[in-house]
Structure 1
Amino acid sequence: MTKEQGAFRTIGELSKELSIKPHILRYWEDQFAVLTPLKRAGSRRHYRPEDVMMVKTINRLLNEEGYTIKGARKFLSARRRGPEMVEDAPQSAAAALPLAGNGQEDNSLILAELKTIRDQLTNALNHA
């Protein structure tokens, strides 16, 4: 039996629905301040529809787009205007926020990649 779209979900139901283990969902609550399910008697978690949407967004950022937890946290805090803004987020890793560099070598790799992208864009504009 499936619940209606707007119904609250327990951690077990959400876990099964999205194929994410419950301990991962609890970990994400610690890591992402924007994820705050209701806690009822006995600390039972109840995920509201906006919480479900946030979990789907976090899952997409981490597992499909390759964000780190720190990068996903930055992305979500920049989009904190509302859950609908998060759903409109870029769908590719190319649009991801850059990760913090660990030194000169990382900076030169980023610079080389940016130059490659610039050259590709210039070529595309010349052929258009």
Structure 2
Amino acid sequence: MATEVADKLYYRIGEVEQITAVPAYVLRYWESEFKLLRPKKNPAGQRLYRPRDVELVQRIKTLLYDERLTLEGAKKRLLAESRKSHQQLDLGLRETAYADVLKRVRDRLTTLRARLSP
């Protein structure tokens, strides 16, 4: 099913309904309940779900139907997972380390620019 999700840039609500087996009215309700689920809308107002939105729908479905969490429990779990993924992107560097890395990159670029200038 994951390959099916990656085939297109955007999916309409009916396509998401087929892929996830979640009815359209439930998808619309989940949009009002889960802040992370925000599909784009085209000028006609049709919802356009990105592959990551479809994956999120599948995750919400798993939390609610398989793990039997409440809406509040699912929201808390998704929030915790979102925070965890942001921490993993941190690369373990503190702000001072970021500043040091950026300074070294800037110094290196300045050196390269000086070499290229006549």
Runs of 4+ in 1 over 2 A off after TM superposition: none
Percent of residue pairs identical? 37
Shift of 1:5: 1.8
- 8 Å CA contact 1:38–1:47 kept in 2: the answer is yes
Residues of 2 paired with 1:78 and 1:38: CA distance? 24
Determine the structure 1 residue equivalent to 2:6: 5
Higher helix residue share = 2
Q: Which residue of 1 aligns with 2:77?
A: 75
Deviation, structure 1 residue 62: 0.3
2: CA distance between counterparts of 1:20 and 1:45?
A: 15
| Cα 1:79/1:4, change in 2 over 3 Å | closer
TM-score (norm 2): 0.64
8 Å contact from structure 2 (residues 64, 74) kept in 1: yes
For 1:46 and 1:71, the matched residues in 2 are separated by 27
Code of the aligned partner of 2:43? A
The Cα RMSD (Å) is: 2.2
Q: Distance in 2 between matches of 1:4 and 1:80?
A: 20
Cα distance in 1 for partners of 2:32, 2:7 equals 24
Rounded to whole Å, the distance in 1 between the matches of 2:21 and 2:80 is 27
Say whether the 8 Å CA contact 1:37–1:51 is kept in structure 2.
yes
1:6 to partner: Cα distance = 4.1
Q: Max radius of gyration: which structure?
A: 2
- The runs of 5 or more residues in structure 1 that have no matched partner are 86-128
Q: How many angstroms does 1:79 deviate by?
A: 1.2
TM-score normalised to the size of structure 1?
0.59
